[in-house]
């Protein structure tokens, strides 16, 4: 419990250090990219540790289920609440109570702050998938905090 807090506090401080308050335009975009890249590297290392005894996944859906269950559990101590796909390479993962947003707000207020707290988690997913052989673009969308949807668009070579 307390240790969750340590991660969350470090994440918040890193966000504040990388993205100055009231940043806009290019400055904001650069900050978001840096956070995403940080998440990517952490996601890669994380998935390496938790898959070392896991058998090979049979397809993309199987990989995605792993991300929704084991991977999410290891990061946030809960599973993804809802997984949808159009069966054409787009997956939507919904977390009804996303941990890095619960610290900010439990309602619509401050929704405009959400993007800077979602860059790192998007990177985590992209890094995990990359290490599992799936190249993708990951974006996040918030309608009512602290619920959050992560959209994964698989990049086919």
Q: Which residues bind its own copies (CB under 8 A)?
A: 2-7, 9-11, 13-14, 17, 34, 38, 41-42, 45-46, 49-50, 73-75, 77
Nearer to its own copies, 5 or 90 (CB): 5
Rounded Cα distance between 48 and 118, Å, is: 22
Smallest separation, CB 59 to its own copies (Å)? 25
CA distance readout (Å), 152 to 13, 27, 92, 110, 155:
27, 25, 6, 25, 9
- Beta carbon nearer to its own copies, 60 or 98: 98
Torsions phi, psi for 148 (to 5 deg)? -150, 140
Q: What's the min distance (Å) between Cβ of 46 and its own copies?
A: 6
Return the number of the residue (38 or 60) whose C-beta is nearest its own copies: 38
70 to 52, 64, 66: CA distances (angstroms): 12, 10, 6
């Amino acid at each position: 419990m307390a240790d969750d807090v340590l991660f969350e506090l470090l994440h918040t401080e890193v966000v504040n250090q990388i993205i100055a308050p009231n940043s806009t335009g290019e400055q904001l975009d650069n900050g978001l990219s840096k956070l995403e890249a940080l998440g990517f590297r952490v996601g890669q290392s994380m998935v390496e540790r938790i898959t070392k005894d896991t058998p090979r996944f049979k397809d993309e859906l199987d990989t995605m289920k792993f991300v929704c269950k084991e991977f999410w559990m290891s990061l946030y101590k809960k599973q993804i609440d809802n997984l949808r796909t159009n069966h054409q390479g787009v997956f939507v993962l919904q977390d009804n109570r996303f941990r890095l947003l619960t610290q900010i707000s439990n309602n619509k207020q401050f929704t405009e702050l959400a993007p800077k707290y979602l860059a790192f988690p998007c990177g985590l997913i992209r890094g995990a998938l990359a290490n599992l052989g799936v190249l993708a673009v990951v974006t996040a969308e918030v309608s009512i905090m602290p619920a959050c949807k992560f959209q994964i668009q698989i990049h086919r070579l």
